[in-house]
Structure 1
Amino acid sequence: MEHQMSQNVAFIGLGIMGLPMAKNLITAGFHVTGFNRSDKATKELIAAGGQGAESIAEAVKDADVIITMVPDSPDVESVTTGAEGLFAHAKPGAIWVDNSSIRPDVSVSLAKQAREAGLRPLDAPVSGGEQGAIDGALSIMVGGEPADFAEAQPVLEAVGKTIVLVGPSGSGQTVKAANQLIVAANIQALSEAVVFLEAYGVDTDSALKVLGGGLAGSKVLDQKGQKILDREFAPGFRLALHHKDMGIVTSAAREAGVVLPLGALVAQLVGSTVASGDGALDHSGLFRGVQRLSGQSE
């Protein structure tokens, strides 16, 4: 496995999730070259032992594995296609891992273009938020060819803990959409429960402890319950991005001819919170929307 550990990895998009993921790759022994629109994150990567690039072309030219971690479908299209994109500059045979969360149909289309450019695409969106990225404990749902998945395994293992091939190209994005539906519904239910408990003057710390030990327990309760009680909504995953993801869920469901009644309602509640100016908050900030609906001051 020694040759694997000397692999060159290009990392495009050093945001809340991308930077700690890139740092974990450095810790695992990979040679990491990062490209980001702002210099601050690139400097942090260099300080951690990585290299910075002035362009996507420079970042990917020697890369065996190229990772993209950017906010939305148009961003992935922007960094991959066109004269300045990675498809035009990556070496043939390189594996392209897209850790972004985007529309499944866009993912399928870009995978086709990647193969035409001689690359091996894997759509590999992640779940676990900023803390999961820092801890290298992300869940990664991967779409693509089994052989490419197997070869990318050491890279994925450096940033994630639960790593599963879920089907052909686009499948990873479909599973991520389902993940975002479940998470948003859970946060909304938890938020409503806390507003309800507080209205009755219950000791909420104790209440969440006992709820967490029963069937109502969840990772959402474990990770977001205290944030809600403390009104601490610094972003681990921004509401604006979850709003984008709920749009993906509801749109893809309509295309498939399936009905998601709770998903549609939660999508509207997320949209309302973003429209009220809370888009930059953590998605646990859905709690503020419940407060507003209950006529409470924040």
Structure 2
Amino acid sequence: LQKHGYSLVMFNRTRAKAESLLGPCGTFSDSPAKLAEQVDVLFTMLAHPDAVEQAALGANGFFNHLRSNALWVDCSSVNPSFSKKMAAEATRREVHFVDAPVTGSAPPAAEAKLIFWVGADTADLERIRPLLLCMGNKIVHAGGHGMGTSMKMVVNLLLGTGMAAFAEAMALGEGLGISRKMLFDSLLGTPAVAPFLASKREKIESGNYDAEFPLRWMQKDMQLATVSAYESGVATPLTNITKEVYRLAMRDGHDTEDFSAIYDYLTNSHDVTTIDQKSPAPAKAQLH
């Protein structure tokens, strides 16, 4: 946005993380409330629903300080029912609301190649389209409020389960004696493997899981997917199991690493006990 000449007012709960982003057109605000008094369009991108609600409705929250007819664009990955709740709160305050979560990690963001999944009235989308195209190269209008969030949830469910399934398949292959190189060379590019997994090869081979998308946020998104599935009466057994595997990986110290570190957890997990086939069979308990 700054590269396109827009003046920005910024706030981050940890100021040091945002100061490096301030260019000649940017200023830092002391609170969401003070920020809201200075802008016509407000973007949020926060970690989870509680953080969004605190920024909007908490002490020094922005909601009651936005101008009438202002527009709030929430790019956070939250659940659809939460987006609809925020849309209702916005309507009560004569504020326009758009849910517009994104697909794309830090490198695509730096190159303005994010995908925006938008839930909004058409007029509101057209009002912010030029702003979104400063940050992304694709906009999908999925429908009304909550539908952008819904699409993002479906995408992240596929990413999370796909990464875990691939890691488990790799673990099995290596356990059967196939080299990791052979598995990568043979599997990547085939219909059995999602294209995004090719970008994780370097991390897995080097063991360097510097986060593009932290594992703890993938686990959070899958947890929200199961909540949404419950609310809509949809059974998601695979997602429920996979989110718990990510939770176990978090407990094993992988929470701030890239979510591809699920491979490291599954191939090095201390929770799995193997029995030497040559060792005596375990004694059978007898009940009397």
- Shift, 1:70, TM fit: 0.8
User: CA deviation digits over 1:14-39, x for unaligned, max 9?
Assistant: xxxxxxxxxxx111221111101122
Aligned residue among 27, 43, 61 for 2:19: 43
Looking at structure 1, the residues matched to 4 and 65 of structure 2 have their Cα atoms a distance apart, in angstroms, of 26
Tell me, yes or no, if structure 1 residue 234 matches structure 2 residue 236: no
Matched, 1:181 2:157: yes
Distance 2:25 2:193 in 1: 40
8 Å Cα contact 2:119-2:144 kept in structure 1: yes
CA contact (8 A) 1:137 1:162 kept: yes
Matches within 5 A, 1:4-43: 25-43=1-19
For 1:82 and 1:239, locate their aligned partners in 2 and report how far apart those are by CA, in whole Å: 28
Number of the residue aligned with 2:134: 158
Alpha-carbon offset, residue 105 of structure 1: 1.2
Distance across 2 between alignment mates of 1:124 and 1:202 = 43
Distance in 2 separating the partners of 1:207 and 1:266? 22
The Cα shift of 1:294 comes to: 5.5
Matched length: 272
- The CA RMSD over aligned residues, in Å, is 2.0
Report the equivalent of 1:6. Answer: none
Distance 1:97 1:295 in 2: 48
Please say which of residues 189-198 and 252-261 is displaced more in the overlay.
189-198
Q: SS at the partner of 1:45?
A: coil
Alignment pair present for 1:170 and 2:170:
no
Match of 2:67?
91
The Cα shift of 1:123 comes to 0.7
More helix, by proportion: 1
Q: For the pair shown, which has the larger CA radius of gyration, 1 or 2?
A: 2
Q: Is it true that 1:60 corresponds to 2:36 in the alignment?
A: yes
The answer to whether the 8 Å contact 2:216/2:255 transfers is yes
Contact 2:34–2:62 (Cα < 8 Å) also in 1: no
Match of 1:113 among 80, 85, 89: 89
Match for residue 263 of structure 2 among 270, 281, 287: 287
Shift of 1:253: 0.7
Partners of 2:104 and 2:115 within 8 A in 1: yes
Q: Is the 8 A contact 2:77 2:149 kept in 1?
A: yes
Task: Give the structure 2 partner of residue 70 of structure 1.
Answer: 46
Q: Distance in 1 between matches of 2:45 and 2:193?
A: 31
Which residue does the alignment assign to 2:223? 247
Whether contact under 8 Å (1:72, 1:102) holds in the other structure is yes
Query: Which secondary structure does the structure 1 equivalent of 2:265 belong to?
Result: helix
Code of the residue aligned with 2:140 in structure 1: it is V
Q: What TM-score, normalized by structure 2, do the two folds share?
A: 0.87
The residue type equivalent to 1:266 in the other structure is T
TM-score, L = length of structure 1: 0.84
Select 2:191's aligned residue among 215, 230, 252.
215
Q: How far has the Cα of 1:61 moved from its partner? A: 1.9
Provide the identity percentage: 29
Deviation at 1:295, TM superposition (A): 6.0
SS in 2 for 1:235: coil
CA distance in 2, matches of 1:83, 1:263: 35
